Amino acid sequence: MTHNTPLSPRPLGHLHDTHHRVLTTAQLRAHGVTAAELSARTRPGGPWRQLLPHVHLLHPGPPTSEERLRGALLYAAREPAPGVPVQPTARHAHRPPYPGAMLTGLAALTLYGFRAAPPLTSLEHVDVLVPRQRRLRSTGYVRIVRGADVPAPRTVTGLPVAPVPRALADAVAGLREAEPVRRLLTEAVRGGHCEPAAVVEELTRAKLLGRPHVAGAVDALVAEGRSIAEGRLYRMVREYGLPDPLWNVDLRLPGGPPLGAVDAYWPNEAVAVELDMRHGDGEDAVWSRYADRRERLERLGITVVHLTPAKLRESTAQQAAVVRTALMAAGDREPAAYVVALPR
């Protein structure tokens, strides 16, 4: 058997199906296409064309946006080991169609529905994330992005896509102006795609916070994230029938030093809620400040409930139950020290 011998000859009629209009050389070989036939079909004026190295478009016209994305993934995906079927069968249905590759950057954000991301038809490059050890070069319209810690992909419109924070970081890496960066980061938070902390973590890992236009956008992102989290906290109190607290107050002992700021405080029950807005560098130091403040307040008999933006978004009812339980338990505790609550 030579390398031109098809592994399992099959008729080609089914290849006109939409999902099979972009195939690799190995996949075509598995369908019975010899090297000579492939060469004849992809010559100028032929019915097929080469889209990328070892990736072929099974019609002569330009590729659609979906075909460009699938072609990019096929180019970057790991080739199956010898003897492993390249087309999924019932036995191999669990195998991902594009192992070791996922869309990232602006193309991924467009698939997620970001209005601030350009349409797929206007993208000059499609970014594909692969593990750092892969020996693979950018080519044509495909731009290879390597990562030491590659996240598990999400599936969007049937394609593997990097999680939003990672896709954002890869998109921001290629942007040089502040306004597009600001729009993308703001939409990520305002649209509920992810929390600011996750975005800042990825930007930090990619060493992008040293760029002034990125740092400025992150400041706006954090402010936006706090505003949204506060809005969720207000709605939680109202919608779940919790008593009205004092909002955004500084606590202090009468005539004494400040004890710290809290986002909500129920003076009769001595219960405080604090939004945990840690992000980026210095997280340990920020947590240390949270812990010190919580310890000071709890020594005075004040119960402190920490809520994260993610928990407020994903499990509002559960967080409301946590606060309600703390309020109801107030009667079983020793009376708290009297503190003064001043508006922030």
pLDDT value for 13? 56
CA–CA distance, 79 with 24 (Å, rounded to integer): 10
How much is the average pLDDT of 301-315?
90
Give the rounded distance of the alpha carbon of 195 from its chain centre.
9
CA–CA distance, 248 with 204 (Å, rounded to integer): 29
Q: Is the pLDDT of residue 107 over 70?
A: yes
Q: Is 92 helix (H, G, I), strand (E, B) or coil?
A: coil
pLDDT value for 17? 53
CA–CA distance, 128 with 106 (Å, rounded to integer): 10
pLDDT value for 301? 92
Q: Is the pLDDT of residue 79 over 80?
A: no
Query: What is the pTM (predicted TM-score) of this model?
Result: 0.76
With beta carbons less than 8 A apart as the criterion, state whether 311 and 228 touch. Answer: no
Considering Cα of 176, then 180, then 182, then 188, what sign does the dihedral take? negative
CA–CA distance, 308 with 233 (Å, rounded to integer): 10
pLDDT value for 9? 43
Domains of the chain with bracketed CATH: 1-63 (no CATH), 243-343 (3.40.960)
How much is the average pLDDT of 266-278?
90
Give the rounded distance of the alpha carbon of 216 from its chain centre.
21
- Give the confidence band of 276 by pLDDT, cuts at 50, 70, 90: confident
The count of C-alpha atoms lying within 13 angstroms of the C-alpha of 211, restricted to the half-sphere facing its C-beta, is 19
Six token digits for residue 258: 């400040």
